[in-house]
Structure 1
Amino acid sequence: MWLAAALPGAAQVGGLGSLLVSGWAAVACAGAARRHPATLRRFWTLLAATMGLAVLGQACWALRRLTGDELPYLPLVAAAFTAGIVTGTAALLSALTAPRSRVGRARIVLDGVIVGLALVPVGWVLLFRDLAPADLADPVRTLGLLYPVLDLVQLTVLVAVIGMTRPVWRPMTLIAGSLAARVVADTAYVALVARGDYVAGHLVDACWPVSYLLIVVATRYPPPPARPDPDDTTDAPLPPWWQVALPYLPVGGAIVAVVLVRQPTGQTPHLLFVCMMALLAALAVRQGLAATQNLRLVARLRRLAYTDQLTGLPNRLMFTRRLRQALRAEGPVAVLMLDLDGFKQVNDRFGHAAGDSLLTSLAARMRDAVAGDGVIARLGGDEFAVLVDGSPPVVPERLAERLLDALRPSDGEEHAGVHPSASIGIAQYGPQHASHTDLLRDADIAMYAAKEAGKSAYRVCTPQLREAAVSRAELIADLRRAVDEGQLHLEFQPIVDLATGAVRSAEALVRWRHPRLGLLSPARFLPLAEETGLIVQIDRWVIHEACRAAAAWRDRPAEATVAVNIAAAHLRRPDLIATVTAATAAAGLAPRMLTLELTESALIDGSEAVLERLRQLRELGIRISIDDFGTGYSSLSYLHRIPATELKIDRSFVARLDLDDDRAYATVEMVTRLAGAFDLSVVAEGVETERQHAAVAAIGCVHGQGYRYGRPGGLMQLNPARIRKIA
């Protein structure tokens, strides 16, 4: 207001105001450096140093004005302001959003230098074009043009540092406003000096204290909530075109300006010539840095494309590429396919973080075991592969043994489900392999054969295994059509009262009448159904058919029920309750007449949602039976949590009763007493002989199931009188 009104002493007021506000800004920045966390301390300290240099420059400026010099220009003032530009730029480069690499920082500084140098000819045209050559000889007039240029360098650096970070930290916006005010002040000052119109106390002098005041306001804001990583561009959006082109846009204007300011003699002023040479040098260095960054980016993308990020091993893409190269070399080639056994249990029980840690550890062991005899890669999940080639190649079987030895747990690692073993399949290149996909297919076939052999083993692919795999694939394809074409049917096996022989229940057992292979047992096709996800569709059909058949069972005793086995995959589905209620309602069967049999392995993987689903089924009246009890992860805690109504003793314990096995007898007796303590009924499975019948009856089992009482068959075989006679 004092300067606008042109009151007396305007020059002194302007100088004193700039001095006081710059000092205030220096103190405020020093206070922010103490208050803010260590990550921002360097930023505010350098800004405090910048404001301190501004205080020095303003003090010299004010001192000269007090002595009566209207156009103060001292080397000390120039040095102070120039040093302030350096420390201010260093402060911006230490901001949280600035690049951490030296190349990134150098690129940003060069962008600023290019913008600043490119605008020198433009400024020359706008400010000095109409001046006489004698006026241009005054260094105060010509060199003063560098002040706004340096301001623009800083402003460009600030724009690049902020980048695409959203939201922008408010102090950075205020600092940008401060730099813009300084650009206006220095540009207006140079223009006035060039025309000889500047006098101390001009209104433009108010722009400098405004610039410092914005810095003071910036120190009042708290630090950002989290530190962004400027070098992490995973989720960062692409920068707009103008930000990429920012350092190059003013270059065209600079070329035009140089043409316009050529002197009558055809020469270009020396200052412009030097600036253009410096601009060309900066552009060359900038392009060199860009080329270097591009090469590093290409190398990084190559690593990302061909490397597994978790284990550091080659990935599937790299393995396939190396395999193709090895096959083109026409040398001996072998592939080992590895799949970790039981790894899913680690993720389910301990979480994916524990699973990732285990994968990393096992990958390191396998890498050491392979050493220089092959290339190991992670194909995905818990599946790995090893490529063996070279001359002479290592024997694949020996390498498989080394891998199995490396995966065996050491002392202190024997925890259930924590340290899985591996199943390994081996395929050696031969005339039957038309491409790398055939070789990988054979290795995969052999790996599944190793799993079926008991896991923690290796198998070599043979013509017999290959033929069996083809048959297996054909059987899966046929199974997909079995339900729709009515090839499945149910057989029922009675569950009887051991004391009277009366039928108390019947278990529904699914069979497959294959059009080419004949009648197939569940053991032949249900594992395939579980692997392919068809088990849920088959389960639904079995539930509906069992309820319909039970409702039509004319000679059924009043309390007899029908039992249906439920797969673990179906148990985890939220639509299980809807399936069961729809089946009983459609058949007109009371819910209490249906029993769902669940294996222990299915229950052990159950979450709270699964347990709540079982509780809802019990509330509807559906009975819950734990099948094959004693063979899974038997635990008293699960009997407390699961709303079961029945335990079925596994046939493996009943079968040993014929051998006078005291442990088997004690096991059956213990389970019977345990069931009584939990108010659960007991069914002894697999009773086939008179001796087994007598033993389970003597122990106190109430119900029995097995060939002793009846083989699976149609409903007509569930004749209570016939079964009672047999009993």
Structure 2
Amino acid sequence: MRVRRTDPGVRTGRADQRGAGHPARLGRALRHVAGLSWVLLVIGLLVAAVAGSEWAGTVQSQEQRATDVQAGAIENRLAEALGASADLAHAVGALLSVDPQLTNGQFDRWFQSEGTAAERTDVVALAYTQAVPVGQLAGFAARDVADPPFGLHVGTFALTPPGARSRYCLLSLGLLHLPPLPASRSAAVSQALGAFMGFIDPGNDQCDGPAAPLLAAAASSGHAVTGPLSQLLGLLGAEQQAASKAIGQLFGGLAPFFELRAVYDTATPPATVAARQAEVRGWVITVLDARELLQPVVASQSGVAVDLSYQPESGPPVLLERAGRPRPGSMERTLAFDAGGRWLAEVWVPASEDLTPTEQGVAVGGGIALFVLLLVFSIRVLAVARAQAVALAERATGALQHQARHDSLTGLANRSEVLATVDSLLAAGRDAGGADGSLALVVCDLDGFKDLNDAYGHHVGDQLLREAGDRLLEVGGPAALVGRIGGDEFALVVEGEELPDPGQLAAAVQAALALPFRLADVPGPVGVTASVGVATGLRASARDLLRDADIALAEAKAEGPARAVVFRPEMRAAVVRRFDLESELRQALRHGQFFLVYQPTFDLEGLGVTGVEALLRWRHPTRGIVPPMEFVPTLEHSGLIVDVGRWVLLEACRQVQQWHAQGYPVSVAVNVSGRQLEGDEIVRDVRAALVRSGLDPRALVVEITETVLMRDPLSIAARLRDLKALGIRVAVDDFGTGYSSMAYLQQFPVDILKIDRSFVTGMVESPEGAALVRALVQLGKALGLVTLAEGIEDELQLYRLRAEHCDAGQGYLFARPLPPDEAVRFMAERAAQLASRGPEAPSGSAPTGPMA
């Protein structure tokens, strides 16, 4: 193992005297320079030639890296666009699982109301072929006559080919999403659809026709079958060639291709081919315009040209569309993406500079040659006269260079010196063809260092840093490179063919720093722990290696003090994803992409609506509705939850005050995060929301999870008392899933105890679960709290909760989270049902039917 360290003389206070004996030698050398100037000229011209060549190579490498970056961006855009098509097919499958009797009119309205029609301009047509068991054929035929797909009335239902089979594959839903067409083409549209009727007739059994192999392939594989629309048209019989011609005229100006995906009884495709074939429920057929799909990609990358192709299971790739025209001198890349590498993109990226790398190399070499000529001339004139001045400057420069390379407090190498040394080691490793694990960079910082500074002063902290540096030098050995690269952050660089295990390096650093420190002005020994991150292997630059080590250090600190983490490539990807998601969330807040849905809560005795819980949702411009669990943790981590939470409070209060004015005096519960409770700003936000909306404070409930309460019980309790002073109510959410005790619960000004859905589910599965819910309800009553059960999904759970005298509840048995217009309609219908039903059965009576 070879390790390197900074100049040991620095640690003893001796200045770096390199160059102190140079003035006399330098003076003699300069006096001889005049006679050797012609030799210097020749050498300079050779250097110019080499530099020009190196410059050309560097520019060529930069162009290649830039091309790779642009190609990667294009690949991401295409993968995202093609993935959106898969999401659309999955959404259709989910929609049909909820409403199997969906009509074509409802199907079209869903496509329009979800915003997909406006956002997915590449979607030309969307259809669903249903797997119809023989026993359901008559019902399907009646439904088809009343509600044919695409609105094309075929008169009577006629099965083609006739005959009894166990299952039929029949088209049940279909819609067109063509770009606006002039009135003159409306007749052509009708003619084309009429000609194509033989293919899209719902009576045509596609499992016993030309499309059967495509359906079977999609059902067996579990992934999409894709190809140009011409492939699908090519399956038509000779008598239907007129349909092919008419369809070609209809899609003139487009580049259509189709995706065929199977829909199964389960959310994900079964594991085996036999199971997939048995459980297929239908097929979603999407016709997309490759030209519309590629145009945004080409438009966002100036001068880029793209060929999009699809690689079938067998045979050569099929070109779907070409966008843009390659410029002369463009660099070409071939991309293969998605899970099976079936999508191919040929990308041409234009050069970023007007001059070619060779031309730039010639320009650089010529510039250096001109400089050498001027330098030689200057040296011949000034060499002897400036000898003494140069010698003095050399001494001064040596001292300045030493100061620039070392930390003034510890004498260790500073950040710049560490990076420079690592860069040289990386270059040497690449030149020698060294193994990827021949270099390790260890970074560590001292846990709780700020607290020590605050408690005893900066002079004590400085002493600790110096002694910590000494210990790290001992870990690396007499030739170790140890540097201080931040306030309390150190770096240790180890290089060699037989490196210790990265975990052993981290353990050695932690063990050295864990020994007690004896510091002046501090009574007794001081214990210190260290968080450590390690990155190994060759990188393009020292900054890249340090970046990866810092990522590992951040992961270690996130796990708690005295932890060590070795960098893995997926950590960097996770950091990039978090950064991108945080940027998207900032855009979402600025552009109003967040919205609220409301889940009603009920009085379990009379089953009337008593309130709603406001729930945050995100309508992403390309991904659609994003579930909260995918973005709320990033809101918390970044602190954006404070701004978003302020908007949620104001919007929820405004909406509920509007319902009050309409005659629905419900309360609203708003979830508040731990980040919001860290300062007094939450009190100002709640007060502002109440004042601006005009809502009665008693109608607002602030919900806090049990784990948030236990972060800092004293300060949280004080902040809750300030909120209670405004007149609002406080609820503890997910109670029972954390670690609070009754003694802690009594400290908080709480009004409502929400029982977590996991306990509600368990109460009907075991006597222990029922006993636990009983205990929680009795605890709430003993403390004078309202008890509210979450996640009520069936009648038996409702019956058991009523028997335990739980006060309120919410869950899918009653209602799912609803948009504001649907929520007010639900409250009106519920009030009408209760008014017409009369008094409910007494508490604890057996369930008799659906409650909502």
Interval containing the TM-score (normalised by the shorter chain) = 0.3 to 0.5
**Normalising by structure 2, what TM-score?**
0.41
Greater strand share, structure number: 2
If you compute each CA radius of gyration, which structure gives the higher value, 1 or 2? 1
**Normalising by structure 1, what TM-score?**
0.47
- Answer 1 or 2: higher relative contact order, Cα 8 Å, separation at least 6: 2
Greater helix share, structure number: 1
